[in-house]
Amino acid sequence: MARRRVIGIDAGGTKLLGGVVDGDLMVEHRVHRLWRGEDRREVIDVMADAAGEARAGASDVAAVGFGIPAQVDFARGVALASNHLPLNGVAFREVMAERLGLPVAVDNDANAALLGEMRHGAARGSSEVALLTLGTGVGGALALGGSIYRGRDGIGVELGHIPIDLDGPPCPGRCDGRGCLEALVAGPAIAARGEREAREDSSSALAAELAEGRAITGAHVTELAHDGDQAAMRAITETGRLLGIGLVAIVNLFAPQVIVMGGGAMRGGDLLLDPAREVVAERALEPARDEVRVVAAELAEEAGMIGAAELARDLEASK
Amino acid sequence: MARRRVIGIDAGGTKLLGGVVDGDLMVEHRVHRLWRGEDRREVIDVMADAAGEARAGASDVAAVGFGIPAQVDFARGVALASNHLPLNGVAFREVMAERLGLPVAVDNDANAALLGEMRHGAARGSSEVALLTLGTGVGGALALGGSIYRGRDGIGVELGHIPIDLDGPPCPGRCDGRGCLEALVAGPAIAARGEREAREDSSSALAAELAEGRAITGAHVTELAHDGDQAAMRAITETGRLLGIGLVAIVNLFAPQVIVMGGGAMRGGDLLLDPAREVVAERALEPARDEVRVVAAELAEEAGMIGAAELARDLEASK
């Protein structure tokens, strides 16, 4: 049975990735955009333009799906609070359907990535799944009983804002919490931890970078850890253990069969995940801790786009 | 429309409360039992006997519902891991239906209490609800989208085992975690905090009790706090703030409209809840923190029995 093509657009806080996806998950007519996202009209223009470009290359496009970095009222297709893009209150589905002349579906970007991983990636066949994206912040999504759990009107499911250290540092995000996962394991926290380790170990490659006056980033620390620098490895190990405490909360609450890890910090791979897995094995409740797999996203950078395309496909199928 | 009577049995770790409940929530033929719960056969005998006693007083009983202190596979009616009673693996629904000659429903006791509060108590009309019971341990239940969320085959939803202090004390329950809510706000933690405060304030009533060689319990600390003893009040306030951090996790994840608090520690009332509410207002995410109400269970000790009766009523209605 031939299925019509759909467009999936994964619109992150700083960049956009999209393409035309066919029934066999072949992606064609890829589009990329970078933006600063300061102006609402510009952001919508860029998204509409990118979808238009992808569509121009393909015939027979049935619908367009978007993943956007905002809380989304999925039933109404309205963007709610967003950290990254000025889309608060935008009737996104309606506006974009009007612009494109096609049916449009829209969801939170982490929800879209989770949908992609559930249908075609690391979470195939699982009913309870958590997805965490570790980047500048910590995003997350949750599937319960086989369906994406979108919270009450899109509010909640803030996996990055589980407090795990009651006296921890203030959360840098739009959050007045302390010791949230985001405050402890996102990029800036990795960078700060790397810097601290560097100051304590003047022979490390990290210390050499500091001495040269270079700013240490999370990506930097991850890279040097892969190169075997001990200070960088300690910073990543400690980050992994803190991540593990957050995973304990998730395991004890949801008993997921799989926790899918994505985002830039996943370049740390098992250097980051192994300490997290150890903490889960040590501290989480049985039997859930024995059943959960903690794995990297299989679709990697494309999970959001593929998931957004699945949203469009669901729209088409429901007609 | 007359509705037939049902029996609700709330079987806790040390005591049982049951009764015949009619369509107007009138409870008759109440039964009480205490037990030590060491032997599986004895526990089942006591429960069956209690249900039989309630039934003997009433005509026209249609079904029996049980809330039991165990993980329960609700769909199959099987008791899974239990802290308190030796019921692991018991096909409870089947065994009890055979014993009683009536249709039987069984669920976790906190789920039953939540059902009671949602239909007839503090959570009427709410779709996202958390219930926490603070006693010797910390139990919990969750409603998402208007229905009890029972986790995957009854595993998960361990609200008492959310870690909020990564270097906190080991959890005393069947849990290898540290700094779980249960380790920080259950009765033994309140007692330990009271003892610490007493040692630092020799003029306190708590210190006087210690000096007399009396063991300090959580109930004790709560009582003296109500009497205005400063050391006891500090212990309850600190407990409330720690509870509040756990509630931040719950609010950020589920954005409940209401969090219902039950269990023995709720004798602390607003002395306990006000500090928790303050922490939620300070630290949880908007808009969820502004929308959530943190309230005492309305049905108090009877929530579990009323909820168990509702389980029986649902069974009857589904026929």
Report yes or no on A155 lying in a domain. Answer: yes
Instruction: Please report the pLDDT score of residue B3 as a whole number.
Output: 67
A251 phi, psi to nearest 5 deg: -65, -45
Partners of B166 on chain A (C-beta within 8 Å) are: 164-165, 179, 242, 245
B122 phi, psi to nearest 5 deg: -70, -15
Which residues lie below 8 Å from residue A197, measured CB to CB, with a gap of 6+? A204, A206, A231, A232, A234, A235
> Does residue B244 share a domain with residue B184?
yes
Report yes or no on A184 lying in a domain. Answer: yes
Query: Which chain B residues in 274-303 lie under 8 Å from chain A, judged by CB atoms?
Result: 282-288
Instruction: Please report the pLDDT score of residue B307 as a whole number.
Output: 97
ipTM of the complex as predicted: 0.94
* Burial of A189 (C-beta count, 10 Å sphere; 0-12/13-18/19+): buried
> Does residue A133 share a domain with residue A273?
yes
User: With contact defined as beta carbons under 8 Å apart, do B111 and B131 qualify?
Assistant: no
Strand partners, A140: A132
Which residues lie below 8 Å from residue B178, measured CB to CB, with a gap of 6+? A283, B163, B165, B166, B167, B168, B169, B170, B171
> Does residue B133 share a domain with residue B28?
no
The Cα angle at residue B241 between residues B237 and B243, in degrees rounded to 5:
110
d(CA B179, CA A105): 42
Write out the residue range of the structural domain in which residue B97 sits. Answer: 5-117+301-317
- At A147, is the secondary structure helix, strand, or coil? strand
> Does residue A141 share a domain with residue A105?
no
> Does residue B19 share a domain with residue B131?
no
* pLDDT tens string A63-109: 999 999 888 999 999 998 777 778 889 999 999 999 999 999 999 99
Report yes or no on A25 lying in a domain. Answer: yes
> Does residue B291 share a domain with residue B211?
yes
Report yes or no on A121 lying in a domain. Answer: no
* DSSP H helical ranges for chain A: 40-56, 92-100, 109-120, 181-185, 187-200, 205-211, 218-226, 230-254, 269-283, 288-291, 303-317
- Asked if pLDDT for residue B1 goes beyond 70, the answer is no
d(CA B235, CA B214): 18
State the CATH number of the domain containing residue B223: 3.30.420.40
Instruction: Please report the pLDDT score of residue B37 as a whole number.
Output: 65
Domain total of chain A: 2
> Does residue A235 share a domain with residue A186?
yes
* pLDDT tens string B259-308: 999 998 899 999 999 999 999 999 999 999 999 999 999 998 899 999 99
Instruction: Please report the pLDDT score of residue A101 as a whole number.
Output: 96
Query: Which residue in B81, B162, B285 is closest to A175 by CB distance?
Result: B285
Instruction: Please report the pLDDT score of residue A37 as a whole number.
Output: 65
> Does residue B244 share a domain with residue B141?
yes
Residue from B306, B276, B313 nearest B124 by CA = B306
Residues of chain A short of pLDDT 50, as ranges, are 1
Q: What pTM was estimated for this model as a whole?
A: 0.94
Whether residue A22 lies within 8 A of chain B, CB to CB, comes out as no
Asked if the Cβ–Cβ distance from B177 to A287 is below 8 Å, we say no
Whether residue B269 lies within 8 A of chain A, CB to CB, comes out as no
Asked if the Cβ–Cβ distance from A166 to B245 is below 8 Å, we say yes
> Does residue B242 share a domain with residue B155?
yes
* pLDDT tens string B202-247: 999 999 998 999 989 999 999 999 999 999 999 999 999 999 999 9
User: With contact defined as beta carbons under 8 Å apart, do B150 and B277 qualify?
Assistant: no
> Does residue B243 share a domain with residue B150?
yes
> Does residue A281 share a domain with residue A133?
yes
> Does residue A131 share a domain with residue A87?
no
Asked if the Cβ–Cβ distance from A158 to B128 is below 8 Å, we say no
For helices B218-226 and B230-254, the axis angle rounded to 10 degrees is 110
Q: Rounded to a whole number, what is the distance in Å from the CA of A40 to chain B's nearest CA?
A: 22
Asked if the Cβ–Cβ distance from A252 to B162 is below 8 Å, we say yes
Asked if the Cβ–Cβ distance from B177 to A285 is below 8 Å, we say yes
Residue B75: other Cβ atoms inside 10 A: 9
